[in-house]
């Protein structure tokens, strides 16, 4: 299986907080998942921890290479820019990543990289992996909380994404 490509600054185990979530789902393809991940108008319907999604360019609500957008999550107004955008292709996993940041002082500033990898597996299955690496005092506070709220929220995001893709596929059938 493939893995996330990390810029050195965000290498897991060197940052203040890191979480990794994964699901493997039967009956879906990477292309089907990609549709509901890259169209941010679907996000609030399957992930309750996101709101106020706005784009700074004409690409929205579809994410694209270098899209500049903002959204609210964990009560943080996050500025973001897509840094990796590779749609699924035969024999190649889909990759999506954005750098997110919250401006502020030493106590409130946050810098993150949120990455996704979606790959088709044998037997009509798809693997959805999302990982996030964070820097800053708020990240340290999240990491010190048990259970880690990001771990649980990102699992809800994955589960909601897969459930939505399955439901939409069933509607089209």
Give the tokens for residue 3.
Answer: 């893995």
Q: What is the largest CA-CA distance in the chain?
A: 52
What integer pLDDT is reported at residue 59 of this predicted model? 76
User: Residue holding tokens 């589960």?
Assistant: 159
What sections of 10-117 are H helices per DSSP? 30-38, 43-46
What integer pLDDT is reported at residue 106 of this predicted model? 94
What integer pLDDT is reported at residue 38 of this predicted model? 98
What integer pLDDT is reported at residue 104 of this predicted model? 93
**Sequence spans of domains, the chain:** 8-172
Give the tokens for residue 8.
Answer: 């050195």
pLDDT tens, 101-140? 999 999 999 999 999 999 999 999 999 999 999 999 999 9
Which residues 6+ apart lie within 8 Å of 89 measured at CB? none
What are the residue ranges in the chain where pLDDT is below 50? none
What integer pLDDT is reported at residue 112 of this predicted model? 97
What integer pLDDT is reported at residue 19 of this predicted model? 97
DSSP state, residue 40: G
Give the tokens for residue 74.
Answer: 């964990």
| 3 state SS of 29 | coil
Q: Check: CATH 3.40.50.720 for 8-172?
A: no
What integer pLDDT is reported at residue 144 of this predicted model? 96
Give the Cα-Cα-Cα angle 130, 45, 42 (nearest 5 degrees).
65
């Amino acid at each position: 299986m493939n893995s996330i490509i990390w810029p050195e600054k965000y290498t897991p185990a060197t940052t203040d907080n890191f979480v990794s979530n994964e699901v493997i789902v039967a009956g879906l393809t990477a292309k089907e998942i990609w549709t509901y991940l890259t169209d941010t108008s679907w996000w609030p319907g399957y992930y309750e921890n996101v709101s106020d999604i706005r784009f700074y360019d004409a690409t929205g609500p579809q994410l694209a290479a270098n899209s500049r957008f903002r959204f609210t999550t964990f009560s943080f107004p996050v500025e973001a820019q897509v840094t990796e955008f590779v749609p699924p292709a035969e024999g190649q996993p889909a990759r999506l990543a954005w750098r997110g940041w919250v401006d502020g002082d030493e106590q409130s500033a946050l810098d993150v990289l949120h990455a996704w990898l979606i790959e088709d597996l044998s037997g009509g299955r798809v693997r959805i992996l999302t990982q996030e690496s964070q820097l800053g005092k708020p990240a340290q506070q999240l990491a010190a909380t048990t259970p880690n709220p990001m771990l649980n929220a990102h699992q809800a995001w994955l589960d909601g994404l897969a459930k939505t893709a399955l439901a939409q596929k069933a509607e089209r059938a």
